[in-house]
Structures are given as structure tokens and as C-alpha cells.
């Protein structure tokens, strides 16, 4: 129809143009629909693949973490022991806890360990890391290995060495103390109520500083050196450089170290079990050791689980407070 004369050429061009535009829009819409559908299919496949890879870990986490936690909370409301059915007692286990002088003593010892060991571990680790950060070459690697050695060494081997050092008769501390005139007679470090808990804290600190030192060294190496050099050019002191430039950049690492060190201190068990077994006279009892003693020595599973629930709540609250304080800064 459009080829009959020039009179209709403009109208023909308009009709052809509109038809071409309509076809182009239909094509773009169809392409967009196909593209959107393909994208959704690809996203769905990636999601399914991701969940498939996570499934073994999820099963392990549910079976060995979530289920025992739920079972622990459930059993804490029962008088559960061997050779007889569990008896529901409600909150009786929790009421008995806070009237139990041994548990209250273990709670106090646990808080003493946490309050002393966590700040000392963090401050000492940061100081050592700052010194190592200024070193280079093999010397830095040597010191990092030395401080990390107690972490990779088995706790039993480390404890045996410390037990020999604290020995009442031939330990190195008594030997050096008497040789230098600081001691008049041998001290039973692990058998005296005045010294036993302090010895446990000392050992815990020495075995806990390795990982924080490695983390702090890595964090300090990632600090923007251009900012440090600019501050030094402007006349900033080392303390000002650390507080204004380095500290804000290593705060996330510090938060992680605080939380992990706090949890590890609350869960101090192996040292107590291998060195003092809670003695002398319950002076080194911690909540973790008392849970073990109650559940696996006295076979009072419900009472031990109640202590476990209380310990978990304390750790959760303190961790939440630490995260909140870190975010507020």
C-alpha cells in the first residue's frame, strides 16, 4: 500500500516506524522477561548449591551444639541421676545453686580469674605485638613462634612442665627463691590456699597470650602507614600516633580478643583438673570444674546442667556488654 505514490510516503514512513517501534518494544520486553527468568533460575541454583554445601556443617552444628544445649536446659529442671528415672523438680536445682557455698566459691574464683587474666592478657599481648611490629626479618618470626609455642603444645605437656616448676621439693621457683635469699623455706605453691589460685592465673595467662599476639601483629601490620607517617611529620608523639591512628584500626581485633579470652577464662578446666583438682579446700574450684565434679563424680546431672545454664547466661551477658561497649565507642 505504501509503494503506490509519493503522496502517501510520509504516512507510510509513519506507519512503518510505528510498527518497527512496536516490534522493538515487544522484542525488548520478551528479552527482559527471558533475562529475568534466567537470572531467577541461576539465583535459585546458586542458593540450593550453597545450602547443599552448608548441610553437613548444619547437621553437625544441630546435632552436637544445639541439641546438647536444649537437652542441658531441659535436664536442669529435673533431678537426674543414674539408675533411676528423672524426677521433675522445677527450679529447685537453681535455688540450691545459690545456697551452695562450694558453687558460690567457685563462682567467685571464676570471676577472679577472668578479671585478672583478661586485661593482663590483652595489655601484655598488645605491648609485645607493638614491639614485634617494629622488628623485621627472622627475629620477629622467632619471637612470634616462641610466644605461640604454648598454644600449639598440648595442655597436658605444658601443665606437666609448670607442675615441675611449682614442685614443693625440687621446683625451680623454690630453688631460685632460696638461692637468691627471697625465700627462707620451700613453699607448697599448689598446695597452699594463699598461692594456688595465683599460680593457676599465671599459667593461664602464659598459655593464652600466643594467639592474641599473632592477631595483634597482623592487625598492626595492616594499619595505614601513610597516616602514621603524616602524623609523625606533624610532630605527633608515639602515644598520640597509637591512640589516634592505630587504636581505631585495631579495635575490631581487640574486641575479638576480649570476647575469646573472656570465654576461655570462664571455661578454665584443664589446668584445675591436672594441677589441683579444685583444692586445696576448694580454693581453686571454678564453675567448669565444679560442673565436671558434680556431673561425673557425684552423678547429679540435673544439678550440673543447671550450673552449665548459669555459666552460659553469664558468658552471653558479658559478651553482649563487650560488643555494646565496643559499638558505642
Half-sphere CA count of 102, side-chain side, radius 13 A: 15
Q: Which residues contact 70 (CB under 8 A, 6 or more apart)?
A: none
Written as nine digits, the cell of 114 is 577472668
Spatial contact of 309 and 73, defined as CB atoms under 8 Å apart: yes
Note the pLDDT tens digit of each residue in 235-264.
888 889 888 999 999 999 999 999 999 999
Helix (H, G, I), strand (E, B) or coil at 317: helix
In terms of C-beta distances under 8 Å and separation of at least 24 residues, what long-range contacts does 71-79 make, across chains too? 72/305, 72/308, 72/309, 73/305, 73/309, 75/301, 75/302, 75/305, 76/302, 76/305, 76/306, 76/308, 76/309, 77/302, 78/302, 79/302
> The whole model's pTM is what?
0.82
Note the pLDDT tens digit of each residue in 128-141.
998 888 877 777 77
Cis omega before residue 280 (within 30°)?
yes
Look up cell 603524616; give the residue.
230
Task: Supply the pLDDT for residue 13.
Answer: 46
Task: Supply the pLDDT for residue 27.
Answer: 52
Written as nine digits, the cell of 240 is 598520640
CATH of 91-328, one of 1.10.3720.10, 1.10.260.40, 1.10.10.10, 1.20.120.160: 1.10.3720.10
Candidates 86, 108, 44, 80; CA nearest to 314 is: 108
- What is the average pLDDT across 107-114? 96
Which one of 69-73, 79-83, 223-227 scores highest in mean pLDDT?
69-73
CA distances to 80, 93, 254, 300, 301 from 83, rounded to whole Å, are 10, 19, 48, 12, 12
Look up cell 593461664; give the residue.
204
Which of 14-23, 146-155, 222-231, 262-271 is predicted with the least confidence, judged by mean pLDDT? 14-23
Written as nine digits, the cell of 202 is 599465671
Spatial contact of 275 and 159, defined as CB atoms under 8 Å apart: yes
Q: Which residues contact 27 (CB under 8 A, 6 or more apart)?
A: none
Amino acid at each position: 500500500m505504501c509503494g503506490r505514490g509519493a503522496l502517501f510516503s510520509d504516512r507510510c514512513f509513519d506507519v512503518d516506524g510505528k510498527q518497527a517501534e512496536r516490534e522493538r518494544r515487544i522484542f525488548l520486553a520478551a528479552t527482559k522477561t527471558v533475562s529475568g527468568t534466567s537470572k531467577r533460575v541461576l539465583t535459585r541454583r546458586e542458593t540450593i548449591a550453597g545450602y547443599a554445601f552448608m548441610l553437613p556443617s548444619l547437621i553437625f552444628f544441630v546435632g552436637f551444639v544445639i541439641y546438647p544445649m536444649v537437652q542441658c536446659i531441659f535436664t536442669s529442671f529435673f533431678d537426674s541421676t543414674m539408675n533411676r528415672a528423672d524426677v521433675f523438680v522445677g527450679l529447685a536445682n537453681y535455688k540450691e545453686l545459690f545456697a551452695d557455698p562450694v558453687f558460690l566459691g567457685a563462682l567467685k574464683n571464676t570471676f577472679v580469674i577472668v578479671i585478672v587474666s583478661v586485661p593482663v592478657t590483652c595489655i601484655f599481648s598488645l605491648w609485645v605485638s607493638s614491639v614485634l611490629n617494629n622488628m623485621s626479618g627472622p627475629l620477629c618470626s622467632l619471637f612470634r613462634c616462641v610466644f605461640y609455642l604454648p598454644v600449639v603444645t598440648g595442655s597436658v605437656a605444658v601443665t606437666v612442665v609448670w607442675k615441675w616448676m611449682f614442685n614443693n621439693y625440687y621446683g625451680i621457683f623454690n630453688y631460685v627463691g632460696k638461692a637468691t635469699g627471697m625465700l627462707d623455706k620451700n613453699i607448697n605453691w599448689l598446695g597452699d590456699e594463699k598461692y594456688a589460685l595465683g599460680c593457676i592465673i599465671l599459667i593461664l595467662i602464659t598459655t593464652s597470650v600466643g594467639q592474641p599476639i599473632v592477631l595483634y601483629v597482623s592487625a598492626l601490620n595492616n594499619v595505614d602507614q601513610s597516616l602514621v607517617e603524616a602524623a609523625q611529620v606533624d610532630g605527633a608523639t608515639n602515644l598520640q600516633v597509637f591512640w589516634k591512628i592505630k587504636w581505631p584500626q585495631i579495635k575490631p581485633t581487640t574486641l575479638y580478643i576480649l570476647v575469646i579470652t573472656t570465654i576461655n577464662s570462664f571455661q578454665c578446666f584443664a589446668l584445675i583438673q591436672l594441677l589441683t583438682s579444685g583444692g586445696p579446700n576448694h580454693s581453686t574450684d571454678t564453675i567448669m570444674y565444679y560442673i565436671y565434679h558434680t556431673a561425673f563424680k557425684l552423678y547429679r546431672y540435673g544439678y550440673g546442667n543447671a550450673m552449665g545454664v548459669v555459666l552460659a547466661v553469664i558468658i552471653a551477658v558479658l559478651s553482649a556488654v563487650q560488643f555494646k561497649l565496643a559499638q558505642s565507642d
